[in-house]
Amino acid sequence: MGVPEILEVEMYRRAAELVVGRRARSFQTNDVIVVKDGLQIQSLVGSRVHEVSRLGKLMTIHFDDGSIDLHFGMAGRIIVDGRSPIDELVYGASSNDRWIRFSIEFEDGFLAITDPRRFSRVGMFQNANALGPDALGTDLLKRVRPRLPVRGTIKGVLLNQYVVAGLGNMLVDEILSRSAIDPRRDISTLSAPSIRKVFQEIEAVLPELLKRGGSHMGDLAAELRVPGSRCPYDGHELSRGTIAGRTTYWCPRHQK
Ligand SMILES: [Zn+2]
């Protein structure tokens, strides 16, 4: 499992829905790198969860008296009542796991974040309003269009969470491969049909990979992201480079 992207966070959200209706008995907030508003979070003891929402890669647990935002960074996982929705591992009580960075204990059960790398962030940021529309929605291009920049590589545009929320490195490479568009192309050089095609692919790919089990299950799968590997569609050797600051794989034969 790689970096949690929108599909993984959606799986986390579905798992976290188990705690809707429960009251928080205590919060473990002592990891000061991961947890930003420990004292404020402690004020939610006794409060009841009424909803768990997601926007892009940001998950929010809404309590009756406030809400907590969870961002899973590069390697964060969620555990609900001892189970992880993606790792198939069963965890014991939260205090036994040294990678637990934050947890909520309820009258029955608990919700925790494990993260060996500590890039996860937990806080009461309430910054979801600034993010672009969620990539898992319909009519995406219509909702994203007012935020599309005039210039910038198409890869960088799709990675920008303020343009469209939720896409990460692997999903963007998958989407551009299926759209047959070179990730280095500047958005100003793409025709209207090409841009439509990209957003149609987003709407098609995300539900498909969610069913397959996550963002690493694309045609341009995780195991192809090594030097010397070949395009799954035409067998041409994949190119590798850094675009928008991220290691990118693309096929120079069919992506133009
Ligand atoms: Zn190809």
**pLDDT higher than 80, residue 2:** no
Structure tokens at 241: 């480079």
CA 174–ligand 1 middle distance (angstroms): 12
pLDDT at 87: 66
In a 3-state reduction of DSSP, which class is residue 244?
coil
CA 256–ligand 1 middle distance (angstroms): 10
Q: Which residues pair with 236 in a beta bridge?
A: none
Domain 133-250 sits in CATH 1.10.8.50: yes
CB 6 within 8 A of CB 47: no
CB 19 within 8 A of CB 104: yes
pLDDT at 86: 76
66: left (phi over 0), alpha (psi -120 to 50) or beta: left
CA 184–ligand 1 middle distance (angstroms): 15
**pLDDT higher than 80, residue 176:** yes
Residue of 37, 21, 255, 45 lying closest to 155 (CA atoms) = 255
pTM score, whole prediction: 0.87
Lowest mean pLDDT among 53-62, 82-91, 162-171, 176-185: 82-91
The share of the chain scoring above pLDDT 70, in percent, equals: 95
**pLDDT higher than 70, residue 127:** no
Instruction: Specify the fold of 6-128.
Output: N-terminal domain of MutM-like DNA repair proteins (3.20.190)
pLDDT at 164: 96
Q: Which distant-in-sequence residues (6+ apart) come within 8 Å of 183 by Cβ?
A: 153, 154, 155, 172, 173, 176, 243, 248, 250, 255
Please give the average per-residue pLDDT across 62-83, as a whole number.
93
CA 180–ligand 1 middle distance (angstroms): 8
Spatial distance between the Cα atoms of 57 and 2, rounded to a whole number of angstroms: 14
CA 2–ligand 1 middle distance (angstroms): 23
139: left (phi over 0), alpha (psi -120 to 50) or beta: left
pLDDT at 93: 45
Give 237's Cβ-side CA count (13 Å radius). 5
CA 250–ligand 1 middle distance (angstroms): 8
CA 168–ligand 1 middle distance (angstroms): 21
More confident residue, 86 or 95: 86
CA 165–ligand 1 middle distance (angstroms): 27
CA 176–ligand 1 middle distance (angstroms): 11
CA 203–ligand 1 middle distance (angstroms): 21
**pLDDT higher than 90, residue 208:** yes
Spatial distance between the Cα atoms of 158 and 42, rounded to a whole number of angstroms: 36
Q: How confident is the model at residue 119 (pLDDT cuts 50, 70, 90)?
A: very high
pLDDT at 222: 85
Please give the average per-residue pLDDT across 175-189, as a whole number.
98
6-128 matches 133-250 in fold? no
Task: Indicate the domain borders of the chain.
Answer: 6-128, 133-250
